[in-house]
Amino acid sequence: MLTVIGIGPGSESMMTQDAIAAIREAEIIVGYKTYTHLVKSMTLDKQVIKTGMCKEIERCQAAIDLALAGHNVALISSGDAGIYGMAGLVLELVTQQQLALEVRLVAGITASIAAASLLGAPLMHDFCHISLSDLMTPWEVIEKRIIAAAQADFVICFYNPRSRGREGHLARAFELMQPWKKAATPVGVVKAAGRKKQEKWLTTLGKMDFEPVDMTSLVIVGNQATYCRNGLMITPRGYSL
């Protein structure tokens, strides 16, 4: 059995009961080293296999091979494993190799949901997720998606917004949105949601400071109706009040 688990943003309190149970039932835990550390309190008596960045295929294949050997294996991803996580890659490998392996997926709280709950209610109307990582998606395609989402007035959640290797991507994304989103459009940023060093702040499209944003951050850009009040970011659903 291979269970692919979304462990949420980091703290056990923001993990689903199914995720906690699946980790406790597993014999072997496989994951990116940062994520295995986040669940360390639940894996002290288990074999833990951890890998670094850019080892996703090797990590998933190791989990598959261990499960095929008869072990109860848990492969963990932060957030939800089916949103920029390992679920899709595992299923691709299993289907391509035509393996008779039972794969179970356990949902987790993705970064946008965790961040939104800390900021207020910015996702009350239509929204989308866009990753600014161009490691596997050409930047030209990402730019088209940013423009299309801004034109359609979606609330936009930016994943992987800024790193040492792509410091200018978030600034470029904001530049691309400017023709369709006003400078006063609310923006919420949450860094390390659900973890010890959690931070959050509100700003606007025109006053955005990109420097504090990193790969642990989630950036939410509002739509034309989004507003901030009493320290909360709110996107109206459209109810008549």
Q: What is the pLDDT of residue 11?
A: 84
* Residue 237 confidence (pLDDT): 95
Residues of the chain short of pLDDT 50, as ranges, are none
Q: What pLDDT score does 181 carry?
A: 98
The pLDDT score that the predictor gives to residue 145 is 98
pLDDT of residue 222: 98
| pLDDT at residue 227, rounded to an integer | 98
- The residues near 122 (Cβ < 8 Å, ≥ 6 apart) are 116, 155, 186, 188, 220, 222, 226, 233, 234, 235
What's the pTM value of the predicted model, to 2 decimals?
A: 0.93
- Cβ neighbors of 35 (< 8 A, separation 6 or more) are 7, 76, 77, 78
CATH of 2-109, one of 3.20.20.70, 3.40.1010.10, 3.10.580.10, 3.40.50.1820: 3.40.1010.10
CATH superfamily entry for domain 112-234: Tetrapyrrole methylase, C-terminal domain (3.30.950.10)
Which residues of the chain form CATH 3.30.950.10? 112-234
